[in-house]
Amino acid sequence: MRNILRPLGFVLLSALAVLSVPAASAQIRVGLVLERSGKDDKSFNASAYQGLKRAEKELGVMTKTVEAPDNAAYESLQRAFAEKKFDLIIAVGFHQLESVKKNAARFPGQKFLLVDEDAKAPNVRSVMFEEHEGSYLVGALAALHAPGGKVGFIGGMDVPLIRRFETGYAAGAKKINPKMQVLSNYLGVTGEAWNNPPKAKELALDQFNRGAEVIFVAAGNSGVGVFDAAAERKKLAIGVDSNQNWLKPGFILTSMLKRVDEAVFDSVKLYKEGKFSTGLIRYGVKSKGVDYSLDEHNARLVSETDKKQLEQLRTEIVKGKIKVPDYYLIQKK
């Protein structure tokens, strides 16, 4: 019963919120549909939201953001935007793939941007990130800070996307130290995995107990639990998607940036300039679409020699000298 009622009520409310937008004039209107972890996940969705806010400020477009209460709501939220004749509808997260496909076919006159999956539709611009390349770099950095030979990885929901982070990370760590041992845990196999900091903290404490010195976490809202554990044990953690260094200064070695903000901003900009293109666009280390973060919060942690080594690795990846294992390709075999 609860399973039926909860989504239904939220979809209705959210749809109402979308519909209540007054029909505007010639101004470009952009609708953003976020995942359930929301615009304040300090991570993936937060990055998309920041990109859109920047577009609103610098490009003068009208924007509207909604958050899905669960995975069943995406289709109706996107459709509500489409029916209101929004010019560009941005869907963030791989969960939205099927609903974008449906809505793109139903509303061929409008444009869609899908982040993290390839919709393969004529009016959809699909943006994918080479997470494994960025994870490779932070994996190398983790290994440089783990003289004991053990680093950890904690993933949110066990899905291919997160596996891709893991394989890249492990490869990077092993590049620095071939004997590196990578401990790996996942929070779960359902969407709850993104919203469970207490469990993430227990996982991290366990990995620290087993000797891990640095833990890379890719788990949405749950990530803060890992940062808590790092601060408690005076060890290091690595953040993900947005720059999370500020959350626990001194205990977050770096963050693996996934510039969703850039992807969103670029797309809106291209749309405004009439240069919007559809199809699959990839963001890798070459274009710094995936990167590691450096700021005042981790300046003391990352040394000049560390930086040099990482830049060396980046150049080798860009030149094709290093082939970072890609879980998506491994999976296909």
| Residue 208 Cβ vs another protein, minimum distance, rounded to whole Å | 12
- The one among 14, 33, 37, 112 contacting another protein by CB under 8 A: 37
- The one among 56, 83, 192, 316 contacting another protein by CB under 8 A: 192
| Residue 156 Cβ vs another protein, minimum distance, rounded to whole Å | 12
| Residue 40 Cβ vs another protein, minimum distance, rounded to whole Å | 4
Instruction: Single out the residue of 192, 178, 222, 186 nearest to residue 207, CA to CA.
Output: 186
The contact pattern for another protein, residues 268-307, with x = CB under 8 A and - = no contact, is ----------------------------------------
| Residue 190 Cβ vs another protein, minimum distance, rounded to whole Å | 9
51 binds another protein (CB under 8 A): no
Instruction: Confirm if 224 and 196 have CB atoms less than 8 A apart.
Output: no
Instruction: Confirm if 203 and 197 have CB atoms less than 8 A apart.
Output: no
Secondary structure of 280-295 in HEC code, one letter for each residue:
EEEECCCCCCEEECCC
- Binding footprint of another protein, residue count (CB under 8 A): 42
- Tokens representing 72 are 């069943």
- Please, what's the b/e burial string for 53-91 (b: 16 or more CB within 10 A of its CB; e: otherwise)? bbbbeebebbbbbbbbbebbbbbbbbbbbbebebbbbbb
How far is CA 128 from its chain centroid?
Answer: 10
5 binds another protein (CB under 8 A): yes
Per CB under 8 A, residues contacting another protein are: 1-2, 5-6, 9, 36-42, 67, 69, 158, 183-186, 188-189, 192, 195-199, 201-203, 205-206, 209, 221-222, 224-225, 228, 231-232, 247-248
